[in-house]
Amino acid sequence: MTQGLIILSFALMAIGMWGLMSRRHLIRIIIGFSLVDTGVHLLLVAVGYRESGTAPIVSDRLPLELLARRGVDPVPSALVLTAIVIGLAVTALMLSFAVRMYQRTRSIYIDKNKELRW
């Protein structure tokens, strides 16, 4: 179960990185970045999971005494929680740079931009 999630997260990271490097369309490059983002978040959640674990929230079904034996690791959840919000803001910043680049160069394809040649 955990290993399956790790394989899936690696697959998403690989697809996203492939898109990041091989696509030329600005919007698709940013989509590739957000795929890598999702893959990393899934990897972190997989690292925090334990077999047949449940959410670390005290309730009638999960009293205080059982928490340490049944609950999953709360630290990766907390990290991913904030990382997703930051991811949105960073994606918005990248998209605004993409719009500015399009306004300057009048081309959505990144290899038409002579200043960025390598």
Selected from 72, 110, 114, 116, the binder of another protein by CB under 8 A is 72
- Neighbouring C-alpha atoms within 13 Å toward the C-beta of 81: 6
Site string for another protein, 5-44 (x = CB under 8 A): xxxxxxxxxxxxxxxxxxx-x-xx-xxx-xx--x--xxx-
Nearest to another protein of 1, 115 (CB atom): 1
Identify the bridge partners of residue 71 per DSSP, sorted by sequence position: 54
Q: How far is the CB of 115 from another protein (least distance, A)?
A: 15
Say if CB 71 and CB 54 are below 8 A apart.
Answer: yes
Cα–Cα dist 115/50, whole Å: 49
103 forms part of the interface with another protein (CB under 8 A)? yes
Nearest to another protein of 106, 115 (CB atom): 106
Say if CB 13 and CB 43 are below 8 A apart.
Answer: yes
